[in-house]
Amino acid sequence: MVELKNVSVTYSTGVDALNNVSLRINDGDFAFVVGSSGAGKSTLIKLILKEIDATSGVVMVNGCNLTKLRKKKIPEFRRTIGFVFQDFRLIPTMTVYENIAFVLRVIDAPRKYIRKRVPYVISLVGLQEKANAYPNQLSGGEQQRVAIARALVNDPQLIIADEPTGNIDPELSYEIVELLKGINECGTTILMVTHEHDLVRHFGGRIININSGEVVFDEVIGGVNEA
Amino acid sequence: MKLSGVRYLTRQGLENIWKNRMMAFASFCVLLVSILLVGVSVLLFMNLDSMIGGIEDKNEVIVFLNTDITQEQTEQVQSKLEQMDNIENITFYSKEKAMEDMKESMKEYADVFDSLGTDNPLPDSFRLRIKDISHTAETVTLMKEIDNILKIRAPYDFVNVLSEIRNIITWVASAVIIALAIVSMVIISNTTKASVFARRNEISIMKYVGATNAFIRFPFFVEGMVTGAVAGVIATIITWIGYDAVVDLLTHEVNLLNVIGVGSIIPFGKIAIKVAVIYALAGALIGALGSVFSTRKHLDV
């Protein structure tokens, strides 16, 4: 669950990135965050990751009050969130398997569990054949699926996808969102930032539009495919 | 962190050395040069010190006695000398022995010596060593108060110069060693910075998936430590070869050491293990510290 109460963020340069935003994303929700560049989408993401702190207001993520969270606790907190980035951010020197197993090693998971869990999530994203390939041997869509498997592997409560379709072919974009939808149906909250309106219109669901640091639209719309 | 985690991270650190072999090689070279510079300075210093020690060991004071001295008076002088604190190894050197030695060393003047007949103009003497050479002057002044002494020949000017040189060398060598150690750390820390920079994506991903700082730092630590230790071992080998070559040159080609005394050079075999251990430890320590400082500075997201 993500909850923002009267949150404002002012950067040291004097720029007001978010202005008195209140927002609540419940467990199990799937929400699109849209808005033009510079509207405050990135600031919202950074807030939720605790990369930056709110100038005022309260940010609650997965039961943690981020304004009060101590620096030492940040790694522990981040383990409850999965991330998917626009540029995939896979480690080029590691195979698909290693890239995913890596996340579990970071959280000190038992080796037995790693050996069971990693092939399972690889099969979820349909890349069994490519488990030993390196990222540069994969297409953009495949790389993003690896990234999704990586976000998924430690069973996070919340997955944040920042423009996950930004760097891949439009026809493959739908596949990626389908995948995220499927994950959402299993109970994981998903927050997807995008500016591809076609995609949003196609799938529908909850749309949060941020403009000039304020939430200007927050409603559930029907998708084309659900009509 | 669990043991399996430590094992995994150690392996990661070792793999990183190979994956970033250019960077690792750069660190290795910097460490190698630093260790060699520091090591060679220390060895040079140790040898100079040993040589000076060797010369000091040779310090000999000769106390010439009056020519008309009686046996009894000679014994008196000896017992007085023996009572003095700063003196050891007192030996009597009779005028007959002195004459023989002189004849021996100047054979071409045998005629002159023969013309003397049984007359022996040389004085009896005591040869002795000063224990603490820095107090040579005081000791000599005390000796002069003893009766029946003709003359005292002490190498105190030379000794003073040597003590002075040793002091200067100690200071200079310490300064050089400290400076080099600091420079090495700075360079290693910079190399690690570059290595951290090269892996910034990997590190940022680690941070996003909730890796603790210790977890991220550990492989760098292993990497720095292993690179440093290997540099230490290679430096030992290079030092060994170089050292033996120089010693060889000094003992066989140049007669310089005959002047100073060959025994003063420390043979490498005697200090090889010490050098190897110190080199490897110093390399590992500098490598590990350099990478820890550098990662510490760079890992706060």
pLDDT > 80? residue B58: no
The pLDDT of residue B178: 82
ipTM of the complex: 0.79
The pLDDT of residue B57: 64
Minimal C-alpha gap between B21 and chain A (Å): 13
Domain architecture of chain B: domains with CATH: 3-56+161-299 (no CATH), 60-154 (3.30.70.3040)
Among the ranges given (A217-226, B29-38, B232-241, B251-260), the one the predictor scored with the smallest mean pLDDT: B251-260
Q: Give the confidence band of B66 by pLDDT, cuts at 50, 70, 90.
A: confident
Which residue of A71, A108, A112 to mutate against B (max B Cβ within 10 Å)?
Answer: A108
**A184 in Cβ contact with A149 (< 8 Å):** no
Q: Do B204 and A110 touch (CB under 8 A)?
A: no
Q: Which residues of B touch A108 (CB under 8 A)?
A: 1-2, 5
Give the residue from chain A lying closest to B208, CA to CA.
Answer: A78
Average pLDDT, chain B: 78
Highest mean pLDDT among A128-132, B6-10, B28-32, B208-212: A128-132
Closest CA to B7 of B219, B280, B194: B219
Local structure of residue A10 (DSSP, 8 states): E
Q: Do A49 and B2 touch (CB under 8 A)?
A: no
How much of chain B, in percent, has pLDDT values that exceed 70? 87
Among the ranges given (A65-79, A106-120, B76-90, B233-247), the one the predictor scored with the smallest mean pLDDT: B76-90
pLDDT > 70? residue B264: no
Q: Which residues of B touch A106 (CB under 8 A)?
A: 206, 209-211, 215
B195: Cβ–Cβ under 8 A, 6 or more apart, which residues?
A: B20, B23, B24, B27, B220, B223, B291
Structure tokens at A112: 């037995």
Q: Give the confidence band of A105 by pLDDT, cuts at 50, 70, 90.
A: confident
pLDDT > 90? residue A131: yes
Q: Is B18 on the interface with A (CB under 8 A)?
A: no
Q: Is A50 exposed, middle or buried (0-12, 13-18, 19+ CB in 10 A)?
A: buried
